Amino acid sequence: MIRTMSRINRRGFIKNSALALGAVAVSGCSGENEMMLYNEAAEKTRAVIDKNADLRDMVRYATLAANGHNTQPWKFRINKSTATILPDFSRKTPIVDPDDHHLFASLGCASENFAFTAEARGRPAEIIFNTQDHGEILIDLGNGKTNESEFFKAIPYRQCTRSEYDGKKVSVSDLKLLEKTAQVKGISLVLITEKEPMEKVLDYVIAANSSQIDDPAFVKELKEWIRFNPSQALETRDGLFSGCSGKPTMPTWVGNLIFRFVFTKDSSNDGYAKQIRSSAGIAVFVSDKNDKEHWVNAGRSYQRFALQATALGMRHSFINQPVEVAEIRPDFTKWLGAGDKRVDLVARFGYAPALPMSLRRPVEDVLV
Ligand SMILES: Cc1cc2nc3c(=O)[nH]c(=O)nc-3n(C[C@H](O)[C@H](O)[C@H](O)COP(=O)(O)O)c2cc1C
């Protein structure tokens, strides 16, 4: 079920046909050579999948999905007719995600990428959540015609773009398309495009972001996943590379030393205000029930939304703070009118140039 809080606006954008990979050089202390190596690795990670791709290569495309803090909290087991996506709890982020909600949503994101990729290579897929043990996702692969959907084609170009957008509105028809594509069982999508409710969401983001920055455990956990320069990002091939957020790069020891002083409430909240006010709208994903299967489905719904947005030349980025802070989530849920449902994910969307793409670990590292 999709509920819309938007006054849907006139078509007003030109589809971004280029969808450039976003291999943008980042200035700062790190040398150009380092950034060149980074860009090469990012391009290789996101190389268009071969026509005769095997399941291993499909795993690579699955891992290009969004995932909390780029922890890549997944393992894949493949055989001829199935793939299983398993949670990797060694990569959990217990402070920002104490109930593993984001972890399971991340698995849902990967499952959608897997299914679109398999379909494109003649293996139409069904996604089944298996509740046994900790919960895992079975991708049941059939045989059929190849179908290279626009979602499949968008996989290597989707990114979370944490920059200011250009303020342009999204057309009525594209908003409707986003709503339609995001439909997944048990998940509702609320689209907010009016100024007043967007400002209210900003208030919640600022309150929750301030509370997170006040929490030393949150800041410590976040810092552990920040990669301050291309070399550090290349070493781990996970985490949040500062260049991907349009931030300056610096030696790791400098980053570790100054992070607490640079990452302040005022600068961070100012940034969110500019980012939200320059966006065309906000998408909120809500589950009927608060359990792992629904969290997975919320991730699937987001990933479908994100691939559709990418195919339309749009950008998006998460602003999940109001659902991450336990003291603020109930009030946010009430304001949204979501009753006893679980508000899962919050993302802004609009138009902007691409930023550098994030990396992923090699396929061998995620196969079991
Ligand atoms: C469940 C989930 C929660 C996320 N939460 C946030 C968030 O609160 N803030 C943010 O900037 N990005 C968030 N992200 C985005 C990830 O950081 C991003 O997907 C990851 O760094 C990989 O980058 P990419 O999506 O550009 O490939 C989240 C992603 C997922 C799937």
Confidence of residue 31 (pLDDT cuts 50, 70, 90): confident
In contact, 8 and 175? CB cutoff 8 Å: yes
Which residue's CA is the nearest one to ligand 1's atom 12?
318
Q: Note the residue count of the chain.
A: 368
In contact, 348 and 281? CB cutoff 8 Å: yes
Reported as half-sphere exposure (CB side, CA atoms, 13 A), residue 177 has a value of 16
Instruction: Inform me whether the pLDDT recorded for 111 exceeds 50.
Output: yes
Instruction: Inform me whether the pLDDT recorded for 12 exceeds 70.
Output: no
Cβ of 188 closer than 6 Å to ligand 1, yes or no, is: no
If you measure from the C-alpha of residue 62 to the centroid of ligand 1, how many angstroms do you get, rounded to a whole number?
15
Question: What are the structural domains of the chain?
Answer: 2-203+273-366 (3.40.109.10)
**Sequence-ordered strand ranges (E) for the chain:** 2-4, 74-78, 82-87, 125-130, 136-141, 187-192, 226-227, 240-241, 281-287, 315-318, 342-350
Q: Which atom of ligand 1 is found nearest the CA of 67?
A: 31
The whole-angstrom separation of Cα 251 and Cα 224 is 15
Which residue's CA is the nearest one to ligand 1's atom 21?
70
In contact, 30 and 254? CB cutoff 8 Å: no
Q: Which amino acid is at 323?
A: V
Enter the pTM of the model: 0.93
Pocket test for ligand 1, best of 93, 160, 238 (most atoms within 8 A of CB): 160
Instruction: Inform me whether the pLDDT recorded for 132 exceeds 50.
Output: yes
Angle at CA of residue 143, ends 121 and 57, nearest 5°: 35
What's the chain's average pLDDT?
Answer: 92
Angle at CA of residue 308, ends 302 and 309, nearest 5°: 85
If you measure from the C-alpha of residue 133 to the centroid of ligand 1, how many angstroms do you get, rounded to a whole number?
26
If you measure from the C-alpha of residue 106 to the centroid of ligand 1, how many angstroms do you get, rounded to a whole number?
9
In contact, 57 and 78? CB cutoff 8 Å: no
How is residue 345 written in tokens?
Answer: 């994910």
Mean pLDDT value of segment 242-267: 94
In contact, 165 and 315? CB cutoff 8 Å: yes
Pocket test for ligand 1, best of 227, 317, 320 (most atoms within 8 A of CB): 320
If you measure from the C-alpha of residue 105 to the centroid of ligand 1, how many angstroms do you get, rounded to a whole number?
11
The whole-angstrom separation of Cα 48 and Cα 81 is 23
Interval 163-212: pLDDT, tens: 999 999 999 999 999 999 999 999 999 999 999 999 999 999 999 999 99
HEC per residue, 329-345: HHHHHHHHCCCCCEEEE
DSSP state of 292: H
